[in-house]
Structure 1
Amino acid sequence: MVPTMDDLLDVHVGTHAPAKWDRIEEQQAEWPEESRQARPRIASEQLPWEDAGLRPRWVGDDTSQAVAAIDPCIYHGRGADELERFVRGTRQRSELAVHVWSFGDLENDQPSPLRGVYFAGDDSVHFPRIDEFWVSGTLIRVAGQPVVADGISGADRDLALRLARRSLELPWWSLQVVLQQAGAFFGTWTPLLTTAAGEVLAGVWTDNAEAGDDDRPLERHYVVPALPSYRPVLQWLAERAIPELVPNAARRSRRYVAEVPELQTTQEQRLVQQLDDLARNYEQERARLTTELAAERDRAEQVREPLLFGTGADLEAAVALVLRAAGLRVTALDPQLGTKSADLLLEMRGRRLLLEVKSSSGRPSEALVDAARRHLRTWPQLRGDTPVGGVALVVNHQHRQPPGDRTPLAYERREFVDSLNDVTVVTTLQLFDWWRQSQWAEIRAVFGHDAGEPASTAGSLPQTEPAGATRPWWRRRR
């Protein structure tokens, strides 16, 4: 049979038509509420089917010409026959059978009482004619923005971006493939949307059968979290999925006639090619930048985490890393002298400085400064052959609080601050801000010897905020 051109393409929907649901609800009006069938959201929502160039084919309709299926049903008498006719039709036309499965129930966001006893998750999706495995999901809450999975493009990436706009207030499910037995899985399961922890929120299973295999029709099953509206699904099918995944079906619709290369002008074809090249280059550039960002983030975390939240040896190591990056020579003294001396010895251009590194969950004790002075006084007895020109204190204060909530200065009592003419006090917040902006001169000016100007002129610079200076990010008002 030669297919004819139509204005609308059929989409199978795995439930009764709205008119049939009207009759069902009429019949069960007197029934106890717990015995009534609930009308699915897709049969009650006013959807722009025709505007999208689509025509719904419900349970009881002819689904053999459908190009996609939304929430199909695998149970006899409730849509299994229509689902089978849909798949046979796509197989006859050698087209990909696109299925979209809504996962979970927005009306019931409580964990299943049977989870862990009889079932692996709170809900599941079973694909037709496949008993070897299924997709199970555990109810979770998502507080952070979902992440589009790496390595996907085209219609898959477009769907993931649409799903990422789903409200975080709604329930989500962590999806996983469950096997009937080891080694039973076949095809490919590709995550589309994940949490920051890597939990899969949406995915697609693809059968890797070859075209023309009578026993294994070409299939692609998208498993997405239940949506308050099916409009994003319809728009995705019409705008991306059908033209890209089922191009032969698009050729049969007047809506997509401009997408057929043989019916495009030479200029249209050139612009389409340029857009394709642009999209491909974008994905490649995005992948490159993503890789660079991951590497830079790993490098930054080696300093950011211990410098802002660390204590003890981890904090000392982070401080030493920053000072070395600024061009100072740093020697750890604890392995040589134990707690009798300061933690670090700094050297630059012939000048040496002792450095004490401390942390405090609240406001730092003023006794920390006295301890630094004591280390300076006792240094000649420990290493008389290595004279030093002073001592400094780096303190990670209020380290259990978010950086933006901490006070900008370690010490604020005026009489005490005025007495800090012989000890340089620097907070790890200030040190971090210099480090993240690669402001090495500022670090050397406080701890070292820069451009011929002795570091002592810096005095207690971190204890004041210079007029007109740009405030660090953690102190800016939102």
Structure 2
Amino acid sequence: MTAHSQGPNGLVLVHAAVQNPAEMAEPDPQAAGDEHRRFAASAKYADISWSASGAEPRWLGMDTSACAVAINPSHFASRGADEFERFLSGAASRGEPALIIATMGNADDDGPWNVFDRYDASVHFPKFTGAIAGKRLPVGADISLAPDLDAADRDLGLRLRLRNRPADAPWWAMALRQPSAPHILGSGHAPAHPPTPPGELVPILVDSLGEPVVARWTSGDGAQIWYLIPDSVDWTTVVDWIVQRALPAHVPAALRRVRSVHSLDADLETPAETQARVALEELERRYIEDKARFQADLERALQEAEPVRSGLLYGTGDELADAVAMVLRAAGFTVTDLDGELGDTKSADLLAVLDQERCLIEVKSASGAAPEKLVSYLQRHLKTWPQLCPGQPVTCSALVVNHQHRLDPAQRPAEVYQRKEFVDALTFPVLATGQLFDWWRNKDWPTVRAAVLGHPQPGHTSKPSTAQNAPESPRPRRPWFH
């Protein structure tokens, strides 16, 4: 096959620098490590729907001169160097840029790379004196789109950020580096300002520090365009993007040569084709933007809700008290953390103030059934309050308990205490955090206020939410302090 020969009708030729997965047998467990690595490398491409994506692969040992794009090419002899050289020569002979997709890092290898270097991965440019080094980021790194991206780069960023990779897949922060520098090889000190490969690195996705985790690098002469993506991607989605977005943007002639359905030559379209294509592109653009916006909305809502949800339903100690305080503030109370104000254990956990009401609140947790002695903690704090804060009388009190917190919330009893004689003798409300959570998530602030204060608020006639089988009205407040 010559450098200008055509691929199958409608299918773009893509060079993947691995052995054909269909011809690879899983090696014996006792086989050399190289055999296992070659098998693992090929297996990553085994499930790609090539023809459905409009592409056909060219593996190691096959002619690559007519390929429009290369995936993870190799510069090592007998491992793909010849195929990569023919790919580059073919692109050059056609006067086209060589489009290359390269993977940064290995998701299965989280061990140390080099004690002399902060980077643990790299992508080398065989025809240039340089490389892009990658530093594996901690789990949970905040990743976002870089600003001012063109359509192809933005589409890739959204695919990788929103739907192409597992949620726990790692990212690598990238930087241009000189690969032969001694600090990468671990043989001495690095020069103060090592040279970088000639070209431009354009961030597509960035971490919270603005460092690229997905990027496009274009050589200074424009002959090569590299897309750097992290390991652990769905390669079918990436191949879809190559044919539908990358090639139209960078090597449109490759699509025209094979008469791909994704070849968009506007000069040859009928008005009906143009209208339909533009409408479809607009629909796709809106979908991508809407999904990104809704995903961001969901992430913000999760970040706001999780501290309250986790604290109320599973928390103990300060985490639980902080969650109760957030609910009370949302319901309109002014809340003081008494442990911080007066010192740990000197008084109850919280003081909640609403209008003329000043409510002392003790917050407790129990992994099993709540012991009745929890009530005595609040009773003791009520007795010592006048000495701690003279001249600041409280008008009511409440005990909030996260009981049975090792059980799933749906399996917990709705009420903290069930023994009728004990419940009837209580002189203040005892509230389950499951009830508070239910009222909080439904923004039923009148019910929160009524339940905490022990009496209905003026003008409030609604009943508490029944999602946690709450009582129909708060227990009447009895006098308990003089």
Cα distance between partner residues in 2 of 1:35 and 1:304:
47
Asked if residue 440 in structure 1 is aligned to residue 445 in structure 2, the reply is yes
How far has the Cα of 1:367 moved from its partner? 1.8
SS at match of 1:353: strand
Q: Cα gap change, 1:364/1:183 in structure 2, threshold over 3 Å: closer, same or farther?
A: farther
Question: Which residues of structure 2 form unaligned runs of 5+?
Answer: 147-152, 182-192, 474-482
How far has the Cα of 1:385 moved from its partner? 5.2
How far has the Cα of 1:439 moved from its partner? 0.9
Q: Name which of 223, 233, 241 aligns with 1:217.
A: 223
**Alignment map for 1:184-199 (pairs within 5 Å):** 184-185=195-196, 187-188=200-201, 190=203
How far has the Cα of 1:248 moved from its partner? 2.6
Asked if residue 465 in structure 1 is aligned to residue 469 in structure 2, the reply is yes
Asked if residue 66 in structure 1 is aligned to residue 67 in structure 2, the reply is yes
Residue range with higher mean Cα deviation, 62-71 or 238-247: 238-247
Quote the residue 2:371 is aligned against: 365
Residues 101 and 222 of structure 1 are in contact (CA less than 8 Å); yes or no, is this contact kept in structure 2?
A: yes
Listed one character per residue, the Cα deviations across residues 211-244 of structure 1 (whole Å, up to 9, x for unaligned) are xx2xx523123445378x9756555544444344
Give the counterpart letter for 2:363 in structure 1: V
Residue range with higher mean Cα deviation, 388-397 or 5-14: 5-14
Q: Cα gap change, 1:48/1:241 in structure 2, threshold over 3 Å: closer, same or farther?
A: same
Cα distance between partner residues in 1 of 2:381 and 2:252:
77
Quote the residue 1:247 is aligned against: 252
Residues 158 and 292 of structure 2 are in contact (CA less than 8 Å); yes or no, is this contact kept in structure 1?
A: no
TM norm structure 2: 0.68
Q: Cα gap change, 1:465/1:420 in structure 2, threshold over 3 Å: closer, same or farther?
A: farther
Residues 162 and 232 of structure 1 are in contact (CA less than 8 Å); yes or no, is this contact kept in structure 2?
A: no
How far has the Cα of 1:369 moved from its partner? 0.8
**Alignment map for 1:25-36 (pairs within 5 Å):** 34=32
Question: Which residues of structure 1 form unaligned runs of 5+?
Answer: 26-31, 470-478
Q: Cα gap change, 1:387/1:75 in structure 2, threshold over 3 Å: closer, same or farther?
A: closer
Report the count of equivalent residues.
Answer: 438
Listed one character per residue, the Cα deviations across residues 107-166 of structure 1 (whole Å, up to 9, x for unaligned) are xx6777x954799888764332245334568799x9x9x998545632453466674379
Q: Cα gap change, 1:436/1:56 in structure 2, threshold over 3 Å: closer, same or farther?
A: closer
**Alignment map for 1:21-420 (pairs within 5 Å):** 34=32, 41=42, 53-57=54-58, 62-101=63-102, 115-116=113-114, 125-135=123-133, 150-151=145-146, 153-158=154-159, 163-164=164-165, 175=172, 177=174, 179=177, 180=179, 181=181, 184-185=195-196, 187-188=200-201, 190=203, 204-209=214-219, 213=221, 217-223=223-229, 225=231, 234-256=239-261, 259-301=264-306, 303-312=308-317, 315-331=320-336, 341-377=347-383, 388-398=394-404, 401=406, 404=409, 407-409=412-414, 411-415=416-420, 417-420=422-425
Cα distance between partner residues in 1 of 2:3 and 2:63:
17
Residues 257 and 263 of structure 1 are in contact (CA less than 8 Å); yes or no, is this contact kept in structure 2?
A: no
How far has the Cα of 1:312 moved from its partner? 4.8
How far has the Cα of 1:407 moved from its partner? 2.6
Q: Cα gap change, 1:203/1:251 in structure 2, threshold over 3 Å: closer, same or farther?
A: farther
TM norm structure 1: 0.68
Cα distance between partner residues in 1 of 2:202 and 2:407:
39
Q: Cα gap change, 1:389/1:358 in structure 2, threshold over 3 Å: closer, same or farther?
A: same
Give the counterpart letter for 2:469 in structure 1: E
Cα distance between partner residues in 2 of 1:35 and 1:358:
56
Give the counterpart letter for 2:451 in structure 1: V
Cα distance between partner residues in 1 of 2:446 and 2:368:
30
Cα distance between partner residues in 2 of 1:230 and 1:383:
66
Residues 362 and 400 of structure 2 are in contact (CA less than 8 Å); yes or no, is this contact kept in structure 1?
A: yes
Quote the residue 1:14 is aligned against: 17
Residues 54 and 243 of structure 2 are in contact (CA less than 8 Å); yes or no, is this contact kept in structure 1?
A: yes
Residues 360 and 395 of structure 1 are in contact (CA less than 8 Å); yes or no, is this contact kept in structure 2?
A: yes
Q: Cα gap change, 1:92/1:259 in structure 2, threshold over 3 Å: closer, same or farther?
A: same
Residues 356 and 394 of structure 1 are in contact (CA less than 8 Å); yes or no, is this contact kept in structure 2?
A: yes
